[in-house]
């Protein structure tokens, strides 16, 4: 598949967007713009942006649209000309979706598809409630407490398991409420534009990534 793909991932917390994105880039020339990861880096670095959004994210809320639109315009400029892109975490609502359309029109890089990963709330809570970060001397990595091999690897590296602030039970519940209220309208937005792909997010990340690719390849002909 040599055509440049311009994709977004939509889905509730726990749907596995970041993991699936990491698998998709192995199959196509895509630059991943994962907004959550980039914002957490800003927070860790203590930048002015990080200090602004840190308290919001800790409570399960989103960064302001005006800030995210400005950051996204900057990040899109960094995508190589011979790469497509995969947006994970933006747009969050129809207002951001309209802003994205204007950005892409300016760059003559229209959206190829909107991938909607679907999972029920019970499974989302199970996944997020068991998610941990292995912090060690190298690059931290994410695992689930049910993954005995990953937990053992963390211990062998001398790492410590930590829970993200936004994976606390009360924050998980708020994140799901915010998603339903603000982000689910994107499903209708992209359905009306004929860009939406409904993808079952149950199963392993590898299985989900294969489903995504099958849909995209089918539409690409």
Catalytic residues: 17, 92, 131, 164, 175
Helix (H, G, I), strand (E, B) or coil at 14: coil
Bridge partners (DSSP) listed for residue 113: 7
In whole angstroms, give the CA distance from residue 175 to residue 169.
Answer: 10
Q: Cite the beta strand spans of 80-128 per DSSP E.
A: 84-88, 113-118
Over its C-alpha atoms, the chain yields an Rg (Å, rounded) of 17
In whole angstroms, give the CA distance from residue 20 to residue 206.
Answer: 7
Burial of 33 (0-12, 13-18, 19+ CB in 10 A): buried
In whole angstroms, give the CA distance from residue 13 to residue 162.
Answer: 18
* Pairing of β 141-144 and β 131-135: antiparallel
């Amino acid at each position: 598949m040599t055509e440049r793909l311009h994709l977004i991932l939509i889905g509730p917390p726990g749907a596995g967007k970041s993991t699936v994105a990491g698998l998709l880039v192995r199959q196509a020339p895509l630059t991943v713009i994962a907004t959550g990861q980039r914002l957490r880096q800003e927070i860790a670095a203590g930048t002015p942006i990080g200090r602004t959004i840190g308290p919001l994210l800790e409570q399960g809320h989103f960064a302001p649209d005006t800030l995210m639109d400005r950051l996204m315009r900057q990040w899109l400029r960094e995508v190589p000309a011979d790469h497509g892109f995969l947006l994970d975490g933006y747009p969050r609502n129809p207002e951001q979706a309209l802003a994205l359309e204007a950005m892409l029109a300016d760059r003559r890089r229209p959206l190829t598809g909107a991938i909607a990963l679907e999972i029920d709330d019970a499974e989302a809570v199970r996944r997020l409630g068991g998610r941990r970060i292995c912090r060690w001397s190298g690059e931290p990595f994410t695992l689930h407490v049910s993954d005995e091999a990953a937990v053992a690897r963390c211990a062998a590296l001398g790492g410590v398991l930590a829970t993200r602030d936004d994976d606390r039970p009360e924050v998980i519940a708020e994140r799901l409420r915010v998603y339903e209220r603000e982000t689910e309208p994107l499903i209708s937005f992209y359905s009306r534009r004929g860009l939406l792909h409904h993808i079952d997010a149950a199963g392993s990340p590898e299985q989900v990534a294969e489903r995504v690719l099958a849909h995209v390849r089918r539409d690409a002909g």
